[in-house]
Amino acid sequence: MSGPYAAYVLAGYAVSAAALGAAVLLTVRGWLRARQRLAALDAERQP
Amino acid sequence: MLRYANPTKFLALSRALRPWLAGATVLLLGAGLALGLRVPPDYQQGETVKLMFLHVPAAWTAMMAYGLMAAASLVGLVWRHPLADQAAKAAAPLGALFTALGLLTGSLWGRPMWGAWWVWDGRLTSFLLLLFLYLGYIALWNAVEDETRAARAAAILALVGAVNLPVIEFSVQWWTTLHQGESIVRAGGPLIAGVYLWPLFLMALGYTLLFVSLWLMRIETAILERRARTVMLEGG
């Protein structure tokens, strides 16, 4: 990519990729933690 | 539809859909980017036309997310179903993120094309209001300790705020705005050339499925956390 406006385009793609990537990571991490916590509590309840 | 208001049935459906949604999202975004980054520069916008493939999908997803949040809020308010409240709550941070991205990518396009990062025109201002509505909704959920009362107050805010959706959509018709008018879904067909329309379509669909995938996962997380709380209470 070249031209006088390339920096604006690259900034747009970089920020979008970082923000959406972070959203995916945080969502998956929250889901994994909730699953692990519930599994641990269930295991504790087993006689 | 109401069948899936049962958390166990919802979890089963969500788990079945998840791999398909994730796969389709990756494919659509990959194809959209592969096509979008190779389009020729527009005769007026130059390379900045490529920002359209980020800006339009983000703005569309932000509005769709608010519509879904308001619909879930209505279901929660009328039928008092906790899963609907959780669905609305789970949509808000994602909606706020897509709104912020819509504003940011629009601003990055506006600076070289309009000579300004920001103008107080009808479309931009009503879209900024959407971000504030999302933030207000999230703040309200966090401010009220009792979950039932928090859900009810947030649902009322979501429904009142839904008035802003047609304002955003028709702002370019109602007022003289710097933001361009309808150029995709309009009588007489799109004004955009096919070479730009295809990546735009793929990216919009990819963003939509990304939102749905993350939304379902966040609702699942809320159900699992609620179950963990119940197990802890039962265990004393």
Interval A3-23: pLDDT, tens: 788 999 999 999 999 999 999
How confident is the model over B3-27, as pLDDT tens digits?
667 888 999 999 999 999 999 999 9
User: What's the domain count of chain A?
Assistant: 1
Q: How far is B92 from chain A (nearest CA, A)?
A: 13
How far is residue A10's CA from residue B195's CA, in Å, rounded to a whole number? 20
Average pLDDT value for chain B: 93
Q: Which residue in the set B37, B47, B221 is minimally distant from A34, CB to CB?
A: B221
Tokens coding B178: 């710097």
Residue B184 above 90 pLDDT?
A: no
Task: Let me know if residue A4 belongs to a domain.
Answer: no
Cβ atoms of B119 and B176 within 8 Å: the answer is no
pLDDT band (50, 70, 90) for residue A2: confident
State pTM to two decimals. Answer: 0.94
How far is residue A9's CA from residue B42's CA, in Å, rounded to a whole number? 13
Find the residue in A nearest to B102 (Cα): A16
Task: Let me know if residue A26 belongs to a domain.
Answer: yes
Beta bridge pairs of residue B42: B46
Q: How far apart are the first and last CA of chain A?
A: 63
Question: Could you tell me the residue range of the domain that residue A31 belongs to?
Answer: 20-47
* Helical axes B194-234 vs B52-79, angle rounded to 10°: 40
Task: Let me know if residue A15 belongs to a domain.
Answer: no
Task: Let me know if residue A11 belongs to a domain.
Answer: no
Residues of chain A neighbouring B37 (CB-CB closer than 8 A): 1
Please report which residue ranges of B80-193 form alpha helices under DSSP H: 82-114, 122-143, 147-161, 164-174
Burial of B236 (0-12, 13-18, 19+ CB in 10 A): exposed
Residues 6+ apart with CB under 8 A from B204: B56, B57, B60, B61
Task: Let me know if residue A43 belongs to a domain.
Answer: yes
Task: Let me know if residue A38 belongs to a domain.
Answer: yes
Task: Let me know if residue A41 belongs to a domain.
Answer: yes
Residues of chain A neighbouring B224 (CB-CB closer than 8 A): 31, 34-35, 37-38
DSSP label at A12?
H
Q: Mean pLDDT over residues B66-94, rounded?
A: 95
How far is residue B236's CA from residue B232's CA, in Å, rounded to a whole number? 6
- Residue located via tokens 């519930």: A38
Task: Let me know if residue A30 belongs to a domain.
Answer: yes
* Residue (of B89, B64, B93, B94) closest to B222 by Cα position: B89
Residues 6+ apart with CB under 8 A from B95: B62, B65, B66, B69, B134
Q: Which of A38, A45, A46 to mutate to test the interface with B (most CBs of B within 10 A)?
A: A38
